[in-house]
Structure 1
Amino acid sequence: MNTLFNDAPGPQEAAPSAFIIDGTQANFMEEVIEASREMPVLVDFWATWCGPCKTLTPALERVINAQKGRVRLVKIDVDQNRELVAQLSRMGLPMQSVPTVVAFWQGQIADTFSGALPESEIKRFVEALLKIAGSSAPGEALITEAKALLDQGQPEQAAQYFAAALQEAKDKPEAWGGLVRAFLAIGEEHQAEQVLAQVPESIAEHAEVTGARAALTLAQEGRKAQAAMAGLESRLAANPDDHEARYDLATALNATGARAEAAAALLEIVKRDRAWNEDGARMQLLKFFEAWGMDDPATMTARRKLSTLLFS
């Protein structure tokens, strides 16, 4: 079986899109200032007519790629962002020439240099920046960024960040679980299975991992149930007490992302016949909760309704 880091999108392969981006006045606050609160950010101010920039920018990209996501690079074309450059100059940022590289950490300027430095000097510059940021920051920052990307509907990039965090350290259940969920969002169930097979035994029962495992199981069940969704709805219309059809419909609804509707279907079974299938509806609902996460709004709402049914 291929290993995770052969099959998963590796940071060196995907870094140009995941860890190296083009900056503008519109995204400067988000991609530089706010992002630097999670990981160090280098900003490369360049211009198309600048000869030294043609040497410096590729060298910066190679150094950033080698860091596997521990540092972000934002490239800003000064001619396309004159107002931003003027604002930064008024704030005291040295912008007299290009190329100029500015390092940000925790929303503040941490260091800067101008001119086309040799690649060895760029490496030392980045290493010094990482020391300022602290040795414990990179892995956690990657996971935080990955979760945000996943929430924003960017699972491909999230997978790159989760994989990079695991290259920092293998004992991060949030990264393992997140990588599984990212692959599921992409539709790569086989990749998700391979990731779960490589989780260290010491964290295999962590809530982040078991939740991801439950999400994979539900995705597989849901894919099968989705094909029969129309028939399931017809069966329920003919017989509202067809609990098997309602159970399968809940699984299919969950697979489509309709969490509230999926929970409602299972709650209806519990309401009509608590003992059906050896309490199977309640058990499936608990599996949903595990897959969604205990702090998910759908989980909290359905859990309150379940408690009302069980204790009324």
Structure 2
Amino acid sequence: MGLSMDEQKAVERFKTDVVEPSMTKLVILDFHADWCGPCKALAPMLEKVAAEYADKGVVLKKIDVDEEKFIAAQFQVQSIPTVYALFQGQPVADLTNARSETQMKQTLDQILAQLPVEAGAEQSPQPEQDVSQFVTMAEQILAEGDAERAAGIFDQVVQMAPNDAAAHVGLVRALVQAGHVEQAQAALAAAETNPAIATDPQIEQARSALELAGNKVDDSELAALKEQAASGDMQARYDYAEAAFAAGQRDAAAEELLAMFEADREWNEGAPKAKLLQIFEAVGLEDPWVVATRRRLSRLLFG
């Protein structure tokens, strides 16, 4: 549809948070902003009325126009507060001028009398299980080198708690380390369709792991890169380090990058250090190998 990635994500969030509830409920959609004084004055009334009308099938949803500019633009919001009533994904009334509790209730009564709104308060989603102990266990197994087993545990955790970002990230990293790059790509793609996961900062760790895996070459190419790196050319050394890590030779990759950093820490705007940090993120900051290698980098940095 010609939408950017951010716009697509905004649409998905709106569908999940607003459109889906509106299929059976009457949604009061409040466009507001933190800096808007009239919005703050109106909010308590909207919350009170929505709570009182919850059993009649009314729910309140809020859209911050600064955070969701694309959605606000689709509704042609020119000023705030702007308040609409939505049913089955479509605006059915402009509630902006209903500034008093009495006016709002009268308007809602009129709308509810005309639409097949499902009575009853919106059901709160069931809380996800606390899976932190399983994530920790899988991380430990991954750090010990059993990527296959770790991937299996992470996959089970994802099924138990689909909104747990750490589990999704761990699954991608474990699959990469086990050599299942295509499965890792599919796992990341699936995670990114979940708005709660796609916007989580932890997802960058999974993207880093896949990016690094994309540098994999066959054994003959790796040997050729190693030979070229022996010449001392910095770019050749960097290319070899990337390929070595993708091939699972993380010690060789780290040795090369640390040596490059020690020789010329400013080369290519500090690329060896940046690559090491990306590797640390992909492997996992608590991994014993990462802890030890970070310590070596710190000694070079601070002498």
Bigger relative CO (Cα 8 Å, ≥ 6 apart): 1
Length-normalised TM-score, structure 2? 0.49
